[in-house]
């Protein structure tokens, strides 16, 4: 519970980052129930946590063109989706970004080719719900890690705080996965 509070406190009160400095990605709610929403063949998952070095953080922020939020600077977490035989069939990331009225929490899956398979919003408090619209979320299907650096809000001139937050969160997660997982292989 302290972990969840730390994530939300950091987003709502950025100056209070002392509790949240240990967490990069906020909580994935109901993983057993929702993992099959992203990967119907998944039977289990494995949590992977990686320390973020100062050099890796600098590379991530340079590619992102922005600073990583407090509480997301020291550790990166993702989940390996496993089939019935224990083989990795994809990856899940749970992200939190600042919205206009608080935290926007979302989860997305990457297939073994590192392309987004699905994206859904877990929680949010935004008045503008456009970023929850399946038509908006479906625009990220098949986006790959190779697309991360050039990824822009698909709403363009009609972008909202929520659509920009989701887009920026996806960019950050893909870039971090590339820097911390793929380049380390």
For residue 71, what pLDDT band results from cuts at 50, 70 and 90? confident
End-to-end alpha-carbon separation of the chain, Å?
33
| pLDDT tens digits, one per residue of 151-175 | 999 999 999 988 998 999 999 999 9
Q: What is the rounded CA–CA span in Å between residue 105 and residue 121?
A: 6
Contact 78, 179 (CB under 8 A): no
- Give the pLDDT score at 175: 96
Q: How far apart are CA 12 and CA 17, in angstroms?
A: 10
Stronger pLDDT, 142 or 8, i.e. the higher one: 142
Mark out the alpha helices in 65-141 (DSSP H runs): 134-137
Cα 80 to the center of its chain, rounded Å: 14
Residue 134, H or E segment: helix 134-137
pLDDT tens track for 16-68: 333 333 333 456 667 777 788 899 999 999 999 999 999 999 999 999 998 88
Query: How confident is the model at residue 128, as a pLDDT?
Result: 82
């Amino acid at each position: 519970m302290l972990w969840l509070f730390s994530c939300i406190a950091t987003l709502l009160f950025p100056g209070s980052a002392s509790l949240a400095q240990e967490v990069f990605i906020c909580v994935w709610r109901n993983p057993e129930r929702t993992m099959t929403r992203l990967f119907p063949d998944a039977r289990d998952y494995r949590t992977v946590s990686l320390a973020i070095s100062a050099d890796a953080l600098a590379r991530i922020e340079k590619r992102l063109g922005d600073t990583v939020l407090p509480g997301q600077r020291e550790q990166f977490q993702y989940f390996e989706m496993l089939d019935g035989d224990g083989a990795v069939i994809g990856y899940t990331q749970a992200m939190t970004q600042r919205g206009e009225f608080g935290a926007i929490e979302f989860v997305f899956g990457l297939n073994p080719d590192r392309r987004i398979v699905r994206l859904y919003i877990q929680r949010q408090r935004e008045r503008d719900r456009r970023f929850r619209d399946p038509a908006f979320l479906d625009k990220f299907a098949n986006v790959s890690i190779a697309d991360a650096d050039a990824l822009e809000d698909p709403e363009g001139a009609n972008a909202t705080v929520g659509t920009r937050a989701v887009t920026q969160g996806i960019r950050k997660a893909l870039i971090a996965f590339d820097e911390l997982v793929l380049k380390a292989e």
